[in-house]
């Protein structure tokens, strides 16, 4: 098996030296275990946080161990009841091509013709669920709301824009880091307006896109985007604080919003969430998303990097914005 281990804790932006590719022989299969050949590995922003040795909602990665995270593959050998060779399984064993472990750590997923397995790692999986829960349970989206999504062309962001529209939002606005992504948002993804934050003046660009203010902010970026949203909020606005990627690789704290007082004067609700505490919404989400997909109402993009040896590059490229939609490694 080829595995990617964390070799050192990065300072700021990770470098290839912080990771090590390790090859090892798998032991003979023990009773109750399965062996899985991975097809897709997920690279996610939260992984950067787990590379630090700090207290968070998930424990830090251990040095010298395989980087854990979402992956999907097929069983190639089984010594466990209910797990057959050929079954597709979702799991959290992370960055390796072959993985062998207790069958209880894998979940067999049903396969639907025409639905690629990789979607279980984004629109039909955790990132889709994050978008859905953030909009519904956290931001309490109402019909007619104007919604602003930062990081809109990524895995979570593309799902947020479309789900907001399907749930009756009046106007959907997104920001992303290139002109191509902006064009995709207003084209394929049906956003009413979008802007490129690299053009500068996030506040001004948001004000122009939302002349009547915003009711819901789904934040993936933090920093200047949160500041801009606090200015743009209509009274009674609600924010789902999902991520703050603009600070994940920064060695010093990013300066905070200078207009936090708007939370008081406009009666805003800003609520952070981690999806692990809201998994009760998964069955309802799965049912609705499967229906939307079947009806052709959900578009998605995947940026696929081939070869497990390029997993670290894929992770770093995702953090820099090289992905549109979900960044995946095809093993
Ligand atoms: P994405 O697919 O959105 O990939 C990350 C994107 O972030 C890049 O494509 C890049 O796009 C953008 N980005 C990077 N640096 C900056 C910056 N300085 N300012 C603005 N944008 C930047 O990743 P995900 O969809 O997987 O995750 C999106 C967010 O959601 C992250 O903040 C993540 O931590 C969070 N998250 C939170 C969860 C929860 O439970 N709360 C669960 C899942 C995700 P661009 O070209 O536009 O810059």
Calculate what percentage of the chain has a pLDDT beyond 90: 96
Q: How confident is the model at residue 253 (pLDDT cuts 50, 70, 90)?
A: confident
Name the DSSP class of 66: B
What are the structural domains, with CATH classification, of the chain?
Answer: 2-120+301-330 (3.90.180.10), 126-276 (3.40.50.720)
- How much distance in Å is there from the Cα of 63 to the middle of ligand 1? 25
- Residue 188: CB atoms within 10 A of its CB come to 15
* Residue among 224, 219, 231 nearest 261 (CA): 231
How do 19-23 and 2-6 pair as beta strands?
antiparallel
- How much distance in Å is there from the Cα of 45 to the middle of ligand 1? 6
Q: Whose CA is nearest to atom 10 of ligand 1?
A: 321
pLDDT at res. 294: 95
C-alpha dist (Å) from residue 178 to 27, 191, 300, 331: 47, 15, 18, 28
Q: What is the pLDDT of residues 22-50, one digit of tens each?
A: 999 999 999 999 999 999 999 999 999 99
Q: What is the pLDDT of residues 153-206, one digit of tens each?
A: 999 999 999 999 999 999 999 999 999 999 999 999 999 999 999 999 999 999
pLDDT at res. 127: 96
Cβ of 69 less than 6 Å from ligand 1: no
pLDDT at res. 129: 98
pLDDT at res. 311: 98
Q: Tell me the mean pLDDT in the region 60-78.
A: 98
Residues in the chain: 331
Q: Whose CA is nearest to atom 15 of ligand 1?
A: 246
Q: What is the pLDDT of residues 137-156, one digit of tens each?
A: 999 999 999 999 999 999 99
Q: How confident is the model at residue 254 (pLDDT cuts 50, 70, 90)?
A: confident
Question: If you average pLDDT over every residue of the chain, what do you get?
Answer: 97
- Distance in angstroms (rounded) separating the CA atoms of residues 8 and 236: 45
pTM for the model? 0.96
């Amino acid at each position: 098996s080829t595995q990617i281990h964390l070799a050192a804790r990065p300072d700021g932006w990770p470098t290839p030296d912080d990771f090590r590719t390790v090859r090892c022989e798998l032991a003979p299969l023990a009773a109750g275990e399965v062996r899985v050949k991975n097809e897709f590995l997920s690279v996610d922003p939260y992984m950067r946080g787990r590379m630090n040795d700090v207290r968070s909602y998930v424990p830090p990665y251990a040095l010298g161990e395989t980087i854990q995270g979402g992956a999907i593959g097929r069983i190639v050998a089984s010594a466990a009841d209910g797990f057959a060779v050929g079954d597709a399984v979702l799991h959290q064993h992370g960055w390796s091509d072959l993985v062998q472990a207790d069958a209880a750590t894998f979940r067999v997923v049903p396969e639907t013709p025409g639905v690629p397995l990789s979607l279980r790692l984004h629109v039909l999986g955790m990132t889709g669920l994050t978008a859905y829960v953030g909009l519904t349970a956290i931001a309490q989206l109402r019909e007619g709301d104007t919604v602003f999504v930062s990081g809109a062309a990524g895995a979570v962001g593309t799902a947020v824009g479309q789900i907001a529209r399907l749930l009756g939002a009046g106007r959907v606005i997104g920001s992303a880091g290139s002109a191509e992504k902006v064009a995709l948002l207003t084209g394929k993804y049906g956003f009413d307006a979008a802007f490129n934050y690299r053009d500068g003046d996030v506040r001004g660009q948001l004000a122009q896109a939302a002349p009547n203010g915003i009711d819901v902010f789904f934040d993936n970026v933090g920093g200047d985007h949160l500041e801009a949203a606090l200015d743009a909020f209509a009274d009674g606005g609600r924010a789902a604080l999902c991520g703050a990627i603009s600070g994940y690789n920064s060695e010093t704290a990013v300066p905070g919003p200078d207009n936090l007082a708007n939370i008081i004067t406009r009666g805003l609700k800003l609520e952070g969430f981690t999806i692990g505490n809201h998994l009760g919404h998964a069955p309802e989400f799965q049912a609705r998303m499967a229906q939307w997909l079947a009806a052709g109402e959900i578009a998605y993009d995947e940026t696929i990097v081939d070869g497990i040896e390029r997993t670290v590059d894929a992770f770093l490229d995702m953090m820099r914005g090289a992905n549109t939609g979900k960044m995946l490694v095809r093993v």
